[in-house]
Copies of this chain bind each other. A is one copy, B any other.
Amino acid sequence: MIYVVGIGPGKKELMTFEAVNALNESEVIVGYKTYIDLIKEFIKDKEVVQNGMRGEIQRCKDAIKKAKEGKKVAVISSGDSGIYGMAGLILELITKENLDIEIKIVPGVTASIGAAAVLGAPIMHDFCHISLSDLLTPWDVIQKRLKLAAEADFVICLYNPRSKGRKDHLQKAFEIIGEFKSGDIPVGIVKNVGREGEFKQIVKFKDIDFETVDMTTIVIIGNKSTYVYEDKMITPRGYVL
């Protein structure tokens, strides 16, 4: 039995009851070290298998190995396990090896939803998620999606917006999006949602300082109706008030 658990953005209050129940019922907890640290209080006295960044495949293989031994295992993801998380990878491996292991996906609050709540209500209308990481997706596919999403006037949530190895991707993304979106559109930047060091900023599209953005950041770009009131970023749903 493997639970694939989304633990939410970071703080305990944003976990679901089902996520905590799954951790409680599991004998082995498998995860990225940083996320294991976030849920320490729920996994005392349990067997923990953890490793570092880019160790996802090994983590899933470890989890499957433990499950084959008959143990109840929880594989954790931050946010929701089904959004750029571990749910897909576990199911891909199960598929490939044609294994008979029960899998239960436990959903969670993804980073964009957590960030949106901090910013106000920026994703109240049609929106999309685009990851700027080209480790697993060709950059030309990402560019095409950015262009079409901007043309469609979606609110755009950028995941993995900027890392040390990809310093210029965010700027390139803004150049592509800027062909369709006005420079005055609000952009919300939230770092460490629900964690220590949470940081929030709302700027105009044309004024973003890319240096403020790193891998722990979610960037939300409004649509043409999005506005700012005091410290809130709001995308109207279309009601006539």
The CA-CA distance from A128 to B156 in the complex, in Å, is 9
From B107, B122, B124, B127, give the contact of A14 (CB < 8 A). Answer: B107
> Cβ of A135: which chain B residues have Cβ within 8 Å of it?
238
Compute how far the CA of A117 lies from the CA of B85 in the bound complex, rounded to whole angstroms. 12
Whether the Cβ atoms of B82 and A105 lie closer than 8 Å is no
Pairs A–B under 8 Å by Cβ, sample size 10: A8-B16, A14-B16, A56-B239, A82-B123, A83-B123, A92-B236, A126-B128, A136-B237, A144-B152, A145-B152
Docked pose: A89 CA to B15 CA in angstroms = 25
Given contacts A137-B125, A149-B128, contact A14 B18 (CB under 8 A): yes
| A129 near B127: Cβ-Cβ < 8 Å | yes
Choose from B108, B120, B128 the contact partner of A154 (Cβ within 8 Å).
Answer: B128
Does A185 count as interface, using CB distance less than 8 angstroms? no
In the complex, the answer to whether A21 meets B13 with C-beta atoms within 8 Å is yes
**Interface SS majority for chain A:** mixed
Chain B residues near A144 (CB-CB < 8 A) = 152
Number of chain A residues close to chain B: CB under 8 A: 72
Q: Does A199 contact B (CB under 8 A)?
A: no
6 smallest beta-carbon distances between A and B, as pairs = A136-B238, A88-B124, A128-B128, A88-B121, A148-B152, A13-B18
Closest B residue by C-beta to A235: B88
Give the contacting residue for A137; candidates B81, B87, B131, B238; CB below 8 A: B238
The reply to whether A92 and B239 contact each other, CB–CB distance below 8 Å, is: yes
Known contacts A83-B123, A87-B124, A107-B116; A95 and B17 CB within 8 A of each other: no
Please indicate which of the listed interface residues A87, A94, A141, A236 has the most CB atoms of chain B within 10 Å of its own CB.
Answer: A87
Q: Bound complex: CA of A14 vs CA of B106, how far in Å?
A: 9
A12: B residues at CB distance < 8 A: 17
Chain B residues whose C-beta falls within 8 Å of the C-beta of A206 in the assembled complex? none
Q: Is A109 an interface residue (CB 8 A)?
A: yes
Contact: B137 with A88, CB < 8 Å?
no
Least distance between A228 CB and chain B CB atoms (Å): 10
Q: Which of B95, B114, B229 contacts A91 (CB 8 A)?
A: B229
Tell me if A130 is interfacial: C-beta within 8 Å of chain B. Answer: yes
Please determine whether A126 and B136 come into contact, CB atoms closer than 8 angstroms. no
